[in-house]
Amino acid sequence: MQSFRTEIENPVVEKDIIELANKIELFQHGKIDEEKFRSLRLARGVYGQRQAGVQMIRIKLPYGKVTTKQLMRIADVSDEYSTGRLHITTRQDIQIHYVDLNRTPQLWAELEKDAVTLREACGNTVRNVTASETAGIDIKEPFDVSPYAEAVFKFFLRNPICQEMGRKFKVSFSASDEDTGLSYIHDLGFIAKIKGNVRGFKVLIGGGLGSQPRHADVLYNFLPSEKIIPVMEGVLRIFDRYGERKSRAKARLKYLIKDIGLEAFRDLISQEQKAIADAIVPIDPATYKASIPRDVEVPKVVLENALTFETWKATNTVSQKQKGYVAIGIKVLLGDFYTDKARVLANLIDTYAAGELRFTLRQNILIPFVKEALLPFFYQELSKLGFTELGYNKAVDITACPGTDTCNLGIASSTGIAEELERVIKTEYPQYLNNKDLVIKISGCMNACGQHNMANIGFQGMSIRTKDKLIAPALQVLLGGGNLGKGTGVFADKVVKIPSKRGPEALRRILNDFETNANRLPFVAYYQQQGEKYFYELLTDLSNTDNLTQDDFIDWGNEHIYEKAIGIGECAGVIIDLVATLFLESEEKIANAKLELEQKLFSNAIYLAYSSMVNSAKAILISDNVKTNSQNKIISDLDELYITSGKIKLGVSFSDLVYQLKFFPPTEEFAAKYINNAQSFLTKVKAYRANTKN
Amino acid sequence: MAIIITDECINCGACEPECPNTAIYEGSETWKYKDGTNLAGNTVTLPNGEVINADTKQEPISDEVYFIAPNKCTECIGFHEEPQCAAVCPVDCCVPDEDHVETREELLAKQAFLHQ
């Protein structure tokens, strides 16, 4: 363990980083449980990797916005602690790989010097709050959603109600009804709306991709902006209490809503409102610091080829609502770029644009506020960096997760096939370079980080077994998905499964058919007209495994024979079921509740006391081998098995005791009383446990 | 034949919503004959002669991974070209169960019986 001293000014952040360093040390001396440590490090952006002994670090960048100063900092950190490669994710984060666990606290401390965090980038927390990359410049937006995304990010970061949920929670903001933030596939999605003079949002809830995609429901057609934080707090409290915890595959919010129904869920949220400190939380957009375009002279530029410039301008720039400015899209192959270029780019943007850039949902870079007159100059400078590849957000711009390159869960290569398909389009279908109506996405497994099941044409990594029991890498071909705007979308059908090496052939057949027969219909409409069976017939002979060659057993981007190797996901830290540890945690929670009470953060204090009680109840149930799938079930089971029968005497039912938080507003008096309740409950269950053990 | 899920299952859950007979369940889950079928009542005689109660909870067939209730599996005959669980399984672990071999006619009859 290297000595670690932080120079962070913010004491909360400092405490966080020191805690990480301490826990790493305890873990390495075998003093804390591995599972417990994992869940702690995940909530601090430190992830496992397919390669043993090194970590992937996810840097949380709310709505993908970074200043040039922050980009410089991230580049420095990547050079010092990682490999110099920066990977843009589909949720607007940056991931760096091959980091030594022992150095993660220093790495984090470095990033915080420019207010960049790792906190709650992974784990069962509120993940990065994403937004349309065009937020603030979008011609169609009623207003800039950035200040609202920022406020939501800040409000829930480190908030006790969402530190140990049953599963992760994803939130997005869309600038306009085009829904470029993809609200329909988020746990909570907000689409900007104006009603009268009031800013607000259409709110979608319970969407998600993964192996069982679910389309979000409309929670509100219009919710004033001052209500979004209280509503989200209600949703998180209900999710924490009712959410499934044992079965990881069924733990996302979408399953809870599917189980109990939207109306019942809505009732639960409204019942929760009393417990929430502020019924309204106004968000003042004036406090948000927007970047200011630099006032510079236009350098003289002589373009060698006017035509290539014009083509680039047509495919790689985005109009802005601010007159005289455009945004430049840099198409980043697979979202990977390197620190040497990142620094040059940062300098360029700092001097000639507005000192800000956005990482996009399609793993690209958007530079807002470029003076139109500066476009030839930017073209010249970006060309030097290889950053003028044509087709930003166009068909050729294929999304892919890291797949088997670095991810533990990957089943087959996604980046390898993505490169190959981009090559096919560039060389054989150049007309698609400027086609933005065709979306191709690839994931290395069913978890859909590459969002394959919402694409027009999607591919998912799989493995396929031949008659003689050999295993080849495979791709599932999914067709007909798409974002229809206004918070609606369709998911792609799983049409056929083919050996990976036939991916390019499948794409050719689909594109040829589309060109010949679609009559200019958009892909989604054409797919719906023809139906799944039509495409199944078109592709089904490719699925035959009787005629595989040696080459079919080598995945894209690999030299060796494919071997299936799938690890276990880390997203959700597994709960350790040791009774003693649980009691310890209950004590820790009470201690933290008291600290919050001292700082007059009553709502936080109450929630920690609540968690302590549920945790203590869980300890008792576990010691008697009772299932503890969700908090509400823990509460009712404790009453049924211990309180009603008089095994443990509380004077009231446990649910009356614990659910006081629903009925009392978060005052100092109630917080103090409730913490005492938690303390005395813990004492009683510990005594019960000690007696029954003997 | 019914389809069986081997222990290579990675518990991804992709197969579960695909099954037209609701024959697929998550490991350690109890299941019922009446889930997703038209079977009802406490004495139902299945086409293979077995007498079952459609409403009672049945013990899980696997505690570790997803499983298929063989009496509810028709290999998607009557619904699809191929077994949908096998078609979507990312690791190809939904395979024909050699202990439950049935003819196409038997499977069709079973499908009709489940959804009569």
Chain A interface includes B112 (CB < 8 A): no
CB contact under 8 A, A447 and B92: no
Higher-pLDDT residue of A436, A486 = A486
- A-B CB pairs within 8 A amount to 47
CB contact under 8 A, B92 and A462: yes
Give the model's pLDDT for residue A515.
Answer: 94
The whole model's pTM is what? Answer: 0.91
| SS3 category, A201 | strand
**Does the structure show a pLDDT above 70 at A592?**
yes
CB contact under 8 A, B12 and A211: yes
Phi, psi of A403 (to 5 degrees): 55, -145
Q: Which of B13, B81, B90 sits opposite A411 (nearest CB)?
A: B90
Q: Which residue of B has its CA nearest to A564?
A: B91
Q: CB under 8 Å to A31, separation ≥6 — which residues?
A: none
Instruction: Let me know the angle formed at the C-alpha of A14 by A11 and A18, rounded to the nearest 5 degrees.
Output: 140
Q: Which of B13, B16, B90 sits opposite A445 (nearest CB)?
A: B90
Residue A323: pLDDT band (50, 70, 90) is very high
Dist. CA B2–CA A629, nearest whole Å: 31
Give the model's pLDDT for residue A437.
Answer: 75
CATH number at residue B59: 3.30.70.20
Q: Which residue of A has its CA nearest to B17?
A: A212
Give me the mean pLDDT over the A250-263 stretch. Answer: 95
Dist. CA A606–CA A347, nearest whole Å: 48
**Distance (Å) from the alpha carbon of B50 to chain A's nearest alpha carbon:** 32
Q: In chain B, how many domains are there?
A: 1
CB contact under 8 A, A463 and B92: yes
pLDDT digits (tens, 9 = 90+) for B8-31: 998 888 999 999 999 999 998 999
Dist. CA A122–CA A336, nearest whole Å: 20
Dist. CA A317–CA B69, nearest whole Å: 55
Q: What is the largest CA-CA distance in chain B?
A: 38
The pLDDT mean for chain B works out to 92
Answer whether A350's CB lies under 8 Å from A71's CB.
no
Q: Which residue of A has its CA nearest to B87?
A: A497
Give me the mean pLDDT over the A124-141 stretch. Answer: 97
B30: containing domain: 1-116
Dist. CA A75–CA A110, nearest whole Å: 11
**Distance (Å) from the alpha carbon of B44 to chain A's nearest alpha carbon:** 28
Chain A interface includes B45 (CB < 8 A): no
Dist. CA A128–CA A156, nearest whole Å: 11
CB contact under 8 A, B26 and A249: yes
**How large is the ipTM?**
0.85
CB contact under 8 A, B91 and A462: yes
Give the model's pLDDT for residue A156.
Answer: 97
**Distance (Å) from the alpha carbon of B30 to chain A's nearest alpha carbon:** 14
Q: How many CB atoms lie within 10 A of CB A304?
A: 8
Dist. CA B21–CA B19, nearest whole Å: 5
Give the model's pLDDT for residue A5.
Answer: 58
Q: Which of A250, A494, A564 sits opposite B91 (nearest CB)?
A: A564
**Distance (Å) from the alpha carbon of B24 to chain A's nearest alpha carbon:** 14
Residue A12, H or E segment: helix A11-28
Give the model's pLDDT for residue A1.
Answer: 41
CB contact under 8 A, B92 and A464: yes
A353 DSSP assignment: S
pLDDT digits (tens, 9 = 90+) for A92-108: 999 999 999 999 999 99
- Give Cα A612 distance to the centre of its chain: 28
Give the model's pLDDT for residue A68.
Answer: 98
Closest alpha carbon to A401 in A433, A357, A447 = A447
- Reported residue count of chain A is 694
**Does the structure show a pLDDT above 70 at A694?**
no
Give B11's contacts in chain A (Cβ within 8 Å): 249
Give the residue from A167, A209, A212 with the most B CB atoms within 10 Å of its CB, the best one to mutate.
A212
**Distance (Å) from the alpha carbon of A240 to chain B's nearest alpha carbon:** 22
| SS3 category, A283 | coil
